[in-house]
């Protein structure tokens, strides 16, 4: 067979396009918010406002990204009449509260992963968004990247037959300081919610909600998880294995095995990267290479704006029902490994 090299999806997809003109407000100008805002600016989105509890932090962010409206305090941001969508990038325990604040103010919301701290909070946010007739979307940016678009096309075409298993990891060497957000339970710390959610969400996209969950972990002295391994099984017999860790750096690769071949993702699989499709003889039948300006975090913004423009509250790529189901899976993993947050 012929090795194909493709740099972009062949057609315009729901994950890509141009901004519809919605005006964005950034709630919590931390590191991830800088990456997201840089991509919004690069691709022509209207970033209208930023808010922080610190006037100095908000002003510095506004100066860096040329944001006209600067607010001290989140109430002022959601009350800003020039803001249509609020992007929430604060620590996990504050997501639900701040989503409610924005929804009650009539704003659409994009919430950094994990969507909330637990499934009960997720269900409450989703219910409020439906009641208000507003779009709320989990910022799982990987779902909307071009290589994931192409992956869905290939799987739908049966290029590897029926997918039967997934192996995926997300490991980073992060701070071991007990006061660091990643290690503080009061801030939702731990490898699972920050890192593990990527491969767990990937498994959900492929196979749905697992019928059985097995999890094991190593915990820090603070009680936060620093390494988590999971094994999922599904109704049709598929299996998925994930590893997340904040104390080691690994390959950060993924592989899907099907009845007629397999797909291997290069490092780092959850970013814009390359994957290779193999038939059962081990011959490469397609190589897909992503070409993305910036990090590619703007694709999720296009998705939210598309939903708003079409008058829809939930999409097919990351439905709200799936977001809640993923939080339920994370809750069960935490129950098994003995991680509970102070507010629960």
* Active-site residue set: 113
The answer to whether residues 298 and 45 touch, using CB atoms and an 8 Å cutoff, is yes
Round to whole Å and give the CA distance between 313 and 300.
Answer: 14
Round to whole Å and give the CA distance between 216 and 235.
Answer: 22
Please give the backbone phi and psi of residue 173, each rounded to the nearest 5 degrees, phi first: -95, 100
Q: How far is CA 286 from the centre of its chain?
A: 26
Q: Are strands 46-52 and 69-72 parallel, antiparallel or unpaired?
A: parallel
For residue 151, the SS3 value is helix
Burial level of 5, CB count in 10 A (0-12/13-18/19+)?
exposed
Neighbours of 277 (CB within 10 A): 24
For residue 254, the SS3 value is strand
Burial level of 282, CB count in 10 A (0-12/13-18/19+)?
exposed
Round to whole Å and give the CA distance between 9 and 149.
Answer: 7
Q: How far is CA 318 from the centre of its chain?
A: 10
Round to whole Å and give the CA distance between 142 and 295.
Answer: 10
Look up residue 61 and give its two tokens.
């962010």
């Amino acid at each position: 067979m012929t090795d194909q090299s493709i740099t972009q999806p062949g057609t315009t997809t729901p994950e890509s396009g141009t901004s519809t003109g919605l005006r964005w407000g950034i709630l919590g100008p931390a590191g991830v918010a800088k990456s997201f805002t840089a991509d919004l600016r690069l691709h022509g989105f209207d970033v209208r406002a930023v808010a922080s509890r610190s006037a100095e932090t908000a002003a510095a962010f506004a100066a860096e990204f040329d944001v006209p409206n600067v607010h001290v305090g989140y109430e002022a941001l959601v009350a800003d009449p020039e803001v249509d969508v609020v992007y929430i990038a604060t620590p996990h325990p504050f997501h639900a509260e701040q989503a409610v604040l924005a929804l009650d103010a009539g704003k659409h919301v994009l919430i950094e992963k994990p969507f909330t701290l637990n499934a009960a909070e997720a269900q409450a946010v989703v219910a409020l968004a439906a009641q208000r007739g507003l779009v709320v979307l989990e910022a799982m940016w990987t779902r909307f990247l071009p290589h994931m678009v192409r992956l869905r096309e290939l799987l739908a075409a049966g290029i590897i037959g029926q997918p039967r298993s997934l192996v995926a990891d997300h490991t980073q060497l992060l701070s071991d300081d007990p006061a660091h957000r990643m290690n503080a339970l009061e801030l939702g710390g731990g490898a699972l919610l920050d890192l593990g959610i990527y491969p767990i969400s990937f498994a959900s996209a492929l196979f749905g909600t697992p019928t059985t969950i097995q999890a094991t972990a190593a915990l820090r002295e603070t009680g936060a998880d620093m390494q988590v391994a999971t094994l999922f099984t599904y109704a049709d017999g598929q299996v998925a294995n994930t590893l997340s860790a904040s104390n080691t750096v690994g390959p950060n690769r993924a592989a899907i095995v099907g009845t007629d071949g397999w797909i291997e993702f290069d490092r780092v699989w959850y970013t814009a990267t390359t994957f290779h499709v193999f038939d059962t003889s081990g011959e490469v039948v397609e190589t897909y290479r992503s070409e993305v300006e910036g990090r590619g975090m703007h694709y999720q913004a296009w998705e939210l704006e598309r939903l708003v423009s079409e008058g829809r509250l939930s999409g097919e790529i990351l439905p709200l029902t799936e977001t809640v189901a993923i939080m339920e899976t994370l809750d069960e993993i935490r129950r098994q490994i003995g991680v509970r947050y102070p507010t629960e």
